[in-house]
Amino acid sequence: MIDRSIDPNISFDIIQNYLLELKETLIRMLSKVDYDKELLIKVVNTVQYAHLKYLIKE
């Protein structure tokens, strides 16, 4: 049987060492993509995506 659980040590390592860099990289990538800014604003103003408000610069 294959163990499909999440290893908390690996999760902690990712959060501590890679999450901030990933977030910064994704923000830089977003600036290079052609997208409808009004749609992004509409999306981040929903309950499900409110945590992404940092993506819009007001």
pLDDT in the model for residue 58: 54
2 within some domain: no
pLDDT in tens, 6-43: 889 999 999 999 999 988 898 888 888 888 888 888 99
> What is the residue range of 23's domain?
8-55
pLDDT in the model for residue 30: 80
Contact call for residues 19 and 7 (beta carbons, < 8 A): no
Count of structural domains, the chain:
1
Q: How far apart are the first and last CA of the chain?
A: 51
Contact call for residues 56 and 44 (beta carbons, < 8 A): yes
49 within some domain: yes
3 within some domain: no
pLDDT in the model for residue 17: 94
